[in-house]
Chains A and B, each alone.
Chain A
């Protein structure tokens, strides 16, 4: 009886081994039911970066005197516009206002090539945060020269913070379609 049991086990094991072998042999054929043709091509691409950096982003005003900051296109793509988030603090007394002008060349004697420059946005009031936009076209590395002009009475320090922003695709050059 014991011998018969061993024989049965051996037969079962052998049957299982044969079945497994059969499955292993059939599997590759199942996957190879058809043949495929492939063709490949490669293309290297790079993306641009966009942004402007202001030389001065925080200005304290104690007198009615203009201050300037230079904004440089530090990206690799030309820009069609830039935005500035401008916050003006609220002094304890009085409420001076500010206006920002842009010029493509450095300010000389308070003028932009003899003119007043291009006003960016509207008048900015104390205690406000406003986003203004300049339409200055800036090539990579180009500079826009900004002048912040105060108006009103200054009894305490008023701080103007100016944070430049560039958003793509709206403020980068027009899309380019390349055919090669």
Chain B
């Protein structure tokens, strides 16, 4: 009996020791955490960044610019329009530009279904404004695009002699865009061939595309 009482007291003492140990450990851990929080540090810096814009605009040079051609074209005819292309964004463009011409509705005029026939497009730049009445350039000319079938421009064709257009001041000015009709067709007793470019109408969309200048790596 005496032995059992002694053992119970001993167990209680051990329990108190264990509880005290746990409490001490907890306090120690909390204290350590407090020390860690007190030692953390943050450093910040600020940098302002702005992105540029690349805007290509199209406007008449002389005349009406792109508009409806009221006549009816025959093979050999040419319809000239005069436009200015201007990079009004804040970024310079890369040298070069592409032109895509698509027709709606698509027909033999624009889809290349008749070999050697259909509409063609060419582009020439003049150093000064074109003379509308005669369609001539009193300055110097640069060929941007030789006569090319419209059917070959759907995905865009590269224009030659187009420099990098500097932001705000960069113009590809005084561009003559010539539309022609190529074809040799014979009508027999008033009836055109089964596949023909005669008596068709379409609305052409000319799309000029410029790319931004090469990316710049800056160290500052």
Contacts and interface: CB of A to CB of B under 8 A. Distances in A.
A-side interface size class = 35 or more
Q: Describe A's contact surface by its main secondary structure.
A: strand
A84 to B, nearest CB: 10
B119 interface: yes
A85 B77 CA distance: 28
A35 B54 contact: yes
A164 interface: yes
A90 interface: no
A42 B198 CA distance: 21
B160 interface: no
Contacts of B183: 168-169
A41 B206 contact: yes
Contacts, number: 197
Nearest to A73: B190
Interface string B34-48: 000000000000000
B-side interface size class = 35 or more
B63 A167 contact: no
Given A35-B212, A44-B203, A179 B134 contact: yes
Contacts of A172: 74-76
Contacts of A174: 76
Contacts of A38: 56, 207-210
Interface of B: 54-58, 63-69, 71-83, 85, 87, 89, 91, 93, 109, 119, 130, 132-135, 179, 181, 183-192, 197-212, 215
Interface of A: 33-54, 57, 74-77, 163-170, 172-180
